[in-house]
Amino acid sequence: MGLTLVIANKTYSSWSMRPWLLMRHFEIAFTEIVIPMDQASSKTAMLSHAPTGKCPALRDGDLAVWDSLAIIEYLAERHPEVPVWPRDRGARAVARSLAAEMHSAFLPLRRNCPMNMRRAPGALPLDPETRAAVAADVARIEAAWRDARQRFGAGGPFLFGGFSAADAMFAPVVNRFEIYDLAGAADTKAYMGTVKALPAWRDWQSGAEAEPWHLARIDAV
């Protein structure tokens, strides 16, 4: 039995984007189910796939795996032939550390600058305190990307050379940096261009643009 990935709106769901992008890039076959957010039936539909009632969820037969990072780890174990994580032990340890940091940190950026694949670029009118907190997150992410590239990126244009789960975990940040005019450093913009050039990214973007659902409360920011 094949894999099924249950996701929310491609326009807004950063957590759904992460495993989807990784699976599409590495050509791990899956069936896609999209459950739009903020519909009357959304919670019930999501609960039929995972006990949290949230997306994403991965179904492998009777097994349900939820949470983006758990899904990525499951895929790494299920497909050891695919370099989901860097092969080098040191690089892999740092990649996992960065993925976990993305998973649990950067709350000002995530709360105030939500992913939106259909938003025209432009800065947000944030108050000074919030803007400073977001700027601190941006600075930390830029430094982390730069460090990974300098230490482990000699083999390719991604954080650890070739595309890995670390790049998938930070992919929604690429969108945030672009649409809210948050990135300034040349090496940051170069890395963003590398991610956006991925065929998997372009496929996700096309899917987002084709979605019929519209969440005014998110589009308004």
CATH numbers and ranges of domains, the chain: 3-82 (3.40.30.10), 89-203 (1.20.1050)
Residue 221 is predicted with a pLDDT of 33
Largest CA distance in the chain: 52
The one-letter code for the residue type at 170 is: F
Model pTM score: 0.94
Is 163 within 8 Å of 93 (Cβ atoms)?
no
Residue 45 is predicted with a pLDDT of 94
The residues facing 7 across adjacent strands are 34
pLDDT mean by block of 10 residues, the chain; 221 residues: 94 97 98 91 92 96 97 98 98 98 97 96 95 98 98 97 98 98 95 98 97 58 33
135-142 contacts, C-beta under 8 A, 24 or more apart: 136/108, 137/105, 137/106, 137/107, 137/108, 137/109, 138/109, 138/177, 138/182, 138/183, 140/105, 140/106, 141/106, 141/109, 141/170, 141/173, 142/183, 142/185, 142/188
Residue 215 is predicted with a pLDDT of 54
Residue 48 is predicted with a pLDDT of 94
Q: How many CB atoms lie within 10 A of CB 123?
A: 11
Residue 39 is predicted with a pLDDT of 83
H/E segment holding residue 4: strand 3-7
